[in-house]
Amino acid sequence: MHAEDPITPARAEQRLCERLQLHGEPAESLLRAMRAGNAGRQAVVLSPRALQGYEPPFACEVGTAFPWLPARVRIPAAGEIPTRHADYAAGLYYVLDLSSCWEGAALSALPQEPQRSLDMCAAPGGKSMLLAAQVALHDHTANEVNAARRGILRQNAELCGLPNTRITGLRPDQWGKSGELFDLILVDAPCSGQSLLCKGMKNPGCLGASMVQGNAKRQRGILLAAVRCVAPGGHLLYTTCTYDVEENERVMAYITRRVRGFKACEIPSLTPYRTWLADFPAYRLLPHHGAGAGGFCCLLRREN
């Protein structure tokens, strides 16, 4: 534990529930999922290399309880391992947690296809894959500042055949000063990653106030740079894989207060998940909802 945050794991869990205003059974459901570590749920996104009519070489769930699921996303049946098939190595599909697809479903609210798009924190490539599965990539930039992660991003983009895509490594502040404008910017922000606990992965300190506040500060900085690159009438999709309100609703509230001309958009397909922690449209998925480890999304529009 950090010296400024000397609390027990049990107290950290309790504090998270308090911040989320969860009590009784909803709070217990969240804590059970975090402790069990088995809420992760795989999904596969058909890549641009997968021709129309292609289906993965493994059993998938027939029908779905998830009406928000993008058309080119499949949910493997129980016991299937998508990564063991040759089609995976050939780049015909990309594997990620179902909750990431839930976040990507926010793109269904775009009124038109973006002509220029930027994935600002792109590695390893999941959000760019989801974008390519829902709209045509006309002029797409996948950016990753970390050189090692940028290499993985490049490999995935080439393997899956992302069209009209360039790979860059600029810092957010460099983008903010670049003068480039995009119709759509994806900010899958670095975060405390509390949902990793629900996948059974260790993430020491992710519930601590110092880690949460440090990430929130970083997220605000990234977004203040990103909004400068949104073209008039364009959109910015903010997503995280963490639960704390400080990194989600409060970051969005800060941006819409600080920057004129940005407004949160309704996402009709995600209406059942609208957050109770903000007075503007934003959406959160928790692990006990049954659609993966959880996440948060908010779609902003820049007025003309």
pLDDT per residue as tens digits for the range 204-215: 999 999 999 999
pLDDT 10s digits, 94-136: 999 999 999 999 999 999 999 999 999 999 999 999 999 999 9
Report whether pLDDT(169) > 80. yes
Q: Could you list the active site residues?
A: 241
Please compute the mean of the pLDDT values over residues 207-225 and round it to a whole number. Answer: 97
Domain boundaries of the chain, sorted by first residue: 9-40+98-302
Structure confidence at residue 149 (pLDDT): 97
pTM over 0.85: yes
pLDDT 10s digits, 33-69: 999 999 999 999 999 999 999 999 999 998 778 999 9
Report whether pLDDT(15) > 50. yes
User: What percent of the chain has pLDDT above 90?
Assistant: 95
Report whether pLDDT(4) > 70. no
Q: Hey, which CATH number is domain 9-40+98-302, 3.40.630.10, 3.40.50.150, 3.30.310.50, 1.10.3210.10?
A: 3.40.50.150
Structure confidence at residue 63 (pLDDT): 77
Band of the pLDDT at 29, cuts 50, 70, 90?
Answer: very high
Please compute the mean of the pLDDT values over residues 136-161 and round it to a whole number. Answer: 98
Report whether pLDDT(5) > 80. no
Structure confidence at residue 180 (pLDDT): 97
Band of the pLDDT at 6, cuts 50, 70, 90?
Answer: low
How far is residue 157's CA from residue 123's CA, in Å, rounded to a whole number? Answer: 10
